[in-house]
Homo-oligomer: A and B are copies of this chain.
């Protein structure tokens, strides 16, 4: 099962010829989540050959234009493509206001699909999406207006029962389920077979966190435990730390500090100010503190690899 993040846009408010405004696509198995939808997102989806119809969930971190201006065009295109599947939008209630005005003006005959709003109005971290594979939690960031980070976590998986053991001990389906949940097994001969001999550890649940836009906030750290991949905005370099503070954004150094303190596996920095034609200095700044840092460039795909948990019993 794939768990990946595609960078559709990596600029901050002002796009450049190389970087579109914020948008990420998260693929978790067969589910596609769009996080933020800056101007031109639909063009990037085309360019990177991602089928529009697969996206059923759009998560909007906050209602600044560079995170939402692509929503209008995307919705128009979905309408022209005769989408009929519900579209779920997770956002601050204010987004509905502006979107309602738009739909009334540009789609007065209505859309061929329903938009189902899920309002992000809790200050506390809360699960906003859950299925049998993954959960998504929204956490409060620190910005000029209400802004949410999104944490995608695969659900813990049961133990894998070794196939050869099922045959050898002629284990019934009912017993297999028990063994998956950690029980030992008593064979026909009455012998106790410890669970560790019957199973392999499952894959470790993978996790991705999107934190943009946000100022440096250590309050995020408890939410970022056991994260494989963290995207943290780094609008500025440390030389503009004062500007980052004024505008409630982060520096590359601060993004790296959060990654290091939370102990994540890998950091992606992005949401770069258009003033940085070359983002190498930002990358170096982050890597001094957190070596496993990558820059977000439009079109990059970050695949989170599966890793087996260690077998406590083996």
This chain's copy number in the assembly: 2
Partner of A65, one of B14, B20, B65, B72: B72
Q: A181 CB to closest chain B CB, in angstroms?
A: 48
Of the listed stretches A95-103, A155-163, A221-229, A250-258, chain B binds: A95-103
Indicate if A64 sits at the interface (CB-CB under 8 A): yes
For residue A106, which residue of chain B has the nearest CB? Answer: B65
Separation of A46 and B73 alpha carbons in the complex (Å)? 20
Indicate if A312 sits at the interface (CB-CB under 8 A): no
Indicate if A66 sits at the interface (CB-CB under 8 A): yes
Separation of A80 and B102 alpha carbons in the complex (Å)? 23
Chain B residues closer than 8 Å to A14, beta-carbon distance = 77, 80-81
Indicate if A13 sits at the interface (CB-CB under 8 A): yes
Of the listed stretches A35-43, A128-136, A203-211, chain B binds: A35-43
Is A46 in contact with B98, judged by CB distance below 8 angstroms? no
Chain B residues closer than 8 Å to A72, beta-carbon distance = 39, 65, 69, 72
Indicate if A76 sits at the interface (CB-CB under 8 A): yes
Indicate if A168 sits at the interface (CB-CB under 8 A): no
Is B77 in contact with A73, judged by CB distance below 8 angstroms? no
Considering only residues 18-62 of chain A, those with a C-beta below 8 Å from chain B are 20-21, 39-40, 42-43, 46-47
For residue A97, which residue of chain B has the nearest CB? Answer: B105
Is A65 in contact with B69, judged by CB distance below 8 angstroms? no
Per-residue CB proximity of A268-290 to B under 8 Å, as 1/0? Answer: 00000000000000000000000
Indicate if A17 sits at the interface (CB-CB under 8 A): yes
Partner of A80, one of B13, B40, B46: B13
Chain B residues closer than 8 Å to A80, beta-carbon distance = 13-14
Chain B residues closer than 8 Å to A63, beta-carbon distance = 105-106
Is A39 in contact with B73, judged by CB distance below 8 angstroms? yes
Which residue among A39, A63, A76, A98 has the maximum number of chain B CB atoms within 10 Å of its CB? A39
- Nearest first, the 6 closest Cβ-Cβ pairs linking A and B are A39-B73, A17-B47, A40-B40, A17-B46, A65-B76, A69-B73
